[in-house]
Amino acid sequence: MANETAKVVRFHTLGGPEVLKIQDEPIPEPGKGEVRLNVKAIGLNRAESMFRRGHYLESPVLPSKLGYEAAGVVAAVGPDVDKSWIGKKASTVPAFLMTNYGVYGDVAIVPASALAVYPAKLTPEEGTSIWMQYLTAYGALIAHAHITKTDFVVITAASSSVGIAAIEMVKTEGATSIATTRTSKKKAALAEIGATHVIATQEEDFLARVNKITGGKGARVIFDPIAGKGIEALAQATAVGGTIFEYGALAPEPTPFPLFTALSKGLSIRGYTLREVLFDPKLRAKAQQYVFDHIEAGDFKPRIDRVFPFAQIVEAHRYMESNEQIGKIVVTV
């Protein structure tokens, strides 16, 4: 084993996709509470792009690993980990910090607590494309908002993997989704995925459309990863007593608090991340079962936009930053 090496991705400086380097390193042994995964597929997430640029919740320690989601086969376990994991197909739940672990490589060391068995009918490419997106949507829409059939739910940046998961979840719960995208280019695809209404925000009057769709009441729930100055329009589109879930910061500007709109409507504007689900063991178990069951039932189907080979990890990150995708970008190893 000592003579064998693994190909892993590291970045030695902060910056654009070009800072990602594939390098050979000795195959690592899992320590206490860890497993080694022979990686078959890696699911890309916007968080990794932000982490690479130094714009994320944690700052990378250079040279840094990268990556939250991988699917593969468990090849080795640490001294205190259940040996029955060995040989099992599993994917990683993003229940760790990228300052400690990263899955971009043909092998990855991850905490055993971050492993989950994905539905057997899924390919590794699909198995790496479920937990981040569906669990993120679950925490806001199901655990916190408790959406029901009477609800209107605005989903911004709806062509992202989390946006698509939210569309499917709102449909499954019988509520009405209002998906937004910048131009008409992705409207048909979002409708096909199951969005009840789609608004191209650069071509249509967002507020007028929401008012018409909701009969002037506004949406009780808004699920937004963008933030920035657009929050004022979202606040105006929210129903009295409604909630805006801010789960990202894609906008390159500060986010003002829409005070007068919030005062007049009694709005809640809530910061939310997946960690709220992952760090509560009971909630995490419930959320994972919900996702597993709905994938098995066919209500949720991970949509893969494009697959890149591992050697093209830089190109895959460039494509992610182009915002052209509808669904998940996957890298195969």
For the segment 220-242, the average pLDDT, to the nearest whole number, is: 98
Q: Per-residue pLDDT tens for 244-271?
A: 999 999 998 999 999 999 999 999 999 9
Confidence band, pLDDT 50/70/90 cuts, at residue 238: very high
Q: Per-residue pLDDT tens for 305-332?
A: 999 999 999 999 999 999 999 999 999 9
pTM of the model: 0.95
Q: Per-residue pLDDT tens for 28-86?
A: 999 999 999 999 999 999 999 999 999 999 999 999 999 999 999 999 999 999 999 99
Percent of all residues in the chain with a pLDDT value above 90, rounded to a whole number = 97
Is 222 in contact with 238 (CB distance < 8 Å)? yes
For the segment 169-193, the average pLDDT, to the nearest whole number, is: 97
CATH number, domain 132-275, options 3.40.50.720, 1.20.1050.140, 1.25.40.10, 3.40.50.300: 3.40.50.720
| Residue 117: pLDDT over 50 | yes
For residue 312, give both structure tokens.
Answer: 């093209």
Confidence band, pLDDT 50/70/90 cuts, at residue 1: very low
Rounded CA separation 194/299 (Å): 10
Confidence band, pLDDT 50/70/90 cuts, at residue 107: very high
Rounded CA separation 208/218 (Å): 10
Is 110 in contact with 92 (CB distance < 8 Å)? yes
Range list of β-strands (E), the chain? 5-11, 20-26, 34-43, 69-77, 89-92, 107-111, 115-116, 152-155, 176-181, 197-200, 219-224, 238-246, 268-271, 304-309, 328-332
| Residue 2: pLDDT over 80 | no
Contacts with 205 (C-beta within 8 Å, 6 or more apart), sequence order: none
In the chain, where the domains are located: 5-130+302-332, 132-275
Mean pLDDT of the chain: 97
Fold of 5-130+302-332: Quinone Oxidoreductase; Chain A, domain 1 (3.90.180)
